[in-house]
Amino acid sequence: MAPSETDSLKISWLRICERLKSEVGDVEYRMWIQRITLGPLDEDEIVLYLPERFLRDWVRAQYGQRLQSLWREESPLVQHVELRVDKKAQRAASADETPAPSEPTMPARSNISIMAKEDAAALERESSSPSHSTGGEVRNDLAVPLDRRFTFDNFVVGKPNEFAYACAGRVADHPASPGFNPLFLYGGVGLGKTHLMHAIGLKLISRGNISVAYMSAEKFMYRFIASMQSKSQMEFKEQLRSVDVLMIDDLQFLIGKNSTQEEFFHTFNALVDAGRQIIVSADKSPSDLSGLEDRLRTRLGCGMVADIHATTFELRISILEAKAKASGTPVPPKVLEYLAHKITTNVRELEGALNRLIAHADLVGRPVTLESTQDVLKDMLKAHERRVTIDEIQRKVAEHFNIRLTDMSSARRARAVARPRQIAMFLAKQLTSRSLPEIGRKFGNRDHTTVMHAVNRVSELMEQDPGLAESVELLRHMLES
């Protein structure tokens, strides 16, 4: 690397540190970010070192995405961030301001980005202890080991995932039974697809005498291409076709990658024809995975297709309760409810928020409270607050003032109806990113000047009338929580 490039990376890193410091506060900064050492740039991937594995995992979970987006903003050279463990990193950092340890403990794995959390973690285990990672028979040369935390026991079952859970359990008990091959699990990000796949694998392995290969579609492609480059394609094919159970995670990655799809298709057929089990996950159903070859989509839909739906409030509470209990740190039910209300899309984020609270409480030696929660998760929650919709605002305001929802868009001008309508417009302007004309359209096709008038009028009234100001604040609070 040319010296000027190194310097520019260092400058970028300093700026990123400054920004993170202002975002996360001093305590968290010192605890986590300051432990990071800048490593080398490997193509478009910047390596960051942490001295301990748990620090690395924590930083990855809490700040991984943020680090990546900050790097992308700061430096055109960097597209990905790779977090690695290097015991010497801390010493190097304190001895000298130019860290970059010369011999990282992990081999370069440029295809694994920090986004592929489970893969990267598993890969590290693979490289540090190739034969003992899961105890059972896993093809380490081919697949990545399974994460022992992702068991059926640790999976909280509720309405949205009970069908997928049952299918997964069935396949774990009776692999390759008719009607369940392939098992196709699909659903949004962070809803437990990878967890269920690992659970199946762990259960199968615990009974022994069965070979299970799990890998992301990304890794499948990487291995496939690597085998072509090293002219070991036959070996790759044979290895793949010798497993009893093949699991490919995040199949949507293969969209647009035609030769890899083709290879997967052949592997798929060979295995199913030989009576082996295939398990696939994706973010959409086979029929919605446009961009996959038709014949592959057809075959994927031939077995059991199980959808994991978005979580419900009840499921989120159950998951939080289970995780809080497992952590051993008391978390008040009010805090769990608050989190389950605020973070609705993704279990991974929910889990991340809870972990952050618990770590913070341990760190400062104070119990978790609603106040500390709001404070610690400020930045994280802000991102969720922006999602209030005009429909929700109309509903809440109508409920609050005891008027009909249809009156939000009706032509009635009686004050009992018109004032709440104006308040709803005011809140729509404040809490959403909609423009005045867009808001007007949602309120019975009113003109944007009507909306502007409403916004001004409510601001004025709030100054004159504390009762009204209080109502509006209460509504805002309810909508944001």
- Give the binding range for ligand ADP (CB under 6 A) out of 106-114, 189-197, 233-241, 411-419: 189-197
Among residues 1 and 189, whose Cβ is nearest to ligand ADP? 189
Q: Least separation, in Å, of the C-beta of 351 and ligand ADP? A: 5
Would you tell me how many other CB atoms lie within 10 Å of the CB of residue 257?
A: 19
Q: Which is nearer to Mg ion, 193 or 446 (CB)?
A: 193
**Of 384, 377, 277, the residue nearest 341 (C-alpha):** 384
Q: Which helix (H) or strand (E) holds 214?
A: strand 212-216
Q: With contacts defined by CB under 6 A, how many residues of the chain interact with ligand ADP? A: 17
Residues 23 and 29: their CA atoms lie apart, in Å, by 9
Region near Mg ion per CB under 5 A, out of 61-69, 188-196, 383-391, 449-457: 188-196
Judged by phi (left if over 0) then psi (alpha if -120 to 50, else beta), residue 176 lies in left
Contacts of 239 (CB under 8 A, 6+ apart): 139, 141, 142
Say if residues 219 and 253 touch (Cβ distance below 8 Å).
Answer: no
- In the bound state with ligand ADP, the residue whose beta carbon lies nearer, of 12 and 161, is 161
**192 touching ligand ADP, by CB under 6 A:** yes
Could you tell me whether strands 277-282 and 245-249 are parallel, antiparallel, or unpaired per DSSP bridges?
parallel
How do 212-216 and 245-249 pair as beta strands?
parallel
Nearer to Mg ion, 117 or 442 (CB): 117
CA distances in angstroms from 338 to 317, 354, 387, listed in the order given: 10, 11, 16
Q: Do the strands 212-216 and 183-187 form a parallel or antiparallel pair, or are they unpaired? A: unpaired
The token pair at 59 is 């930083």
Least distance to Mg ion, CB of residue 231, Å: 32
194: contact with Mg ion by CB under 5 A: yes
Taking the C-alpha atoms of 110, 111, 115 and 117 in order, what is their torsion angle to the nearest 10 degrees?
A: -90
Please state the closest distance from residue 162 (CB atom) to ligand ADP, in A.
10
146: partner contacted, choices Mg ion, ligand ADP, none (Cβ within 5-8 A by kind):
none
Smallest separation, CB 45 to ligand ADP (Å): 22
Binding of ligand ADP by 191 (CB under 6 A): yes
Selected range binding Mg ion among 73-81, 187-195, 356-364, 460-468, rule: CB under 5 A: 187-195
Residues annotated within the binding site are 190, 192-194
Q: How far is the CB of 43 from ligand ADP (least distance, A)?
A: 26
Cβ closest to ligand ADP, residue 189 vs residue 274: 189
Q: For residues 443 and 437, what is the distance between their CA atoms, to the nearest angstrom?
A: 10
Euclidean distance between CA atoms 112 and 223, whole angstroms: 12
Q: Which residue has the tokens 């010296």?
A: 3
Q: How far is the CB of 441 from Mg ion (least distance, A)?
A: 38
- CA quadruple 12, 18, 23, 29: dihedral, nearest 10: 110
Residues in 340-399 that interact with ligand ADP by CB under 6 A = 347-348, 351
| Residue list, annotated binding site for ATP | 190, 192-194
Footprint on residues 141-180 left by ligand ADP (CB under 6 A): 150, 154-156, 161
Neighbouring-strand partners of residue 280: 184, 248
Among 14, 27, 166, 189, binds ligand ADP (CB under 6 A): 189
> Whose Cβ is closer to Mg ion: residue 166's or residue 189's?
189
* Cβ proximity to Mg ion, 194 vs 373, nearer residue: 194
- Candidate ranges 163-171, 189-197, 367-375, 386-394; the one touching Mg ion (CB under 5 A): 189-197
CB 448 within 8 A of CB 429: no
> What is the greatest pairwise CA distance in the chain?
80
For ligand ADP, the binding residues in 302-331 under the rule CB under 6 A are: 319
Which residues contribute to the site for ligand ADP (CB under 6 A)?
A: 150, 154-156, 161, 187, 189-195, 319, 347-348, 351
Which residues contribute to the site for Mg ion (CB under 5 A)?
A: 193-194
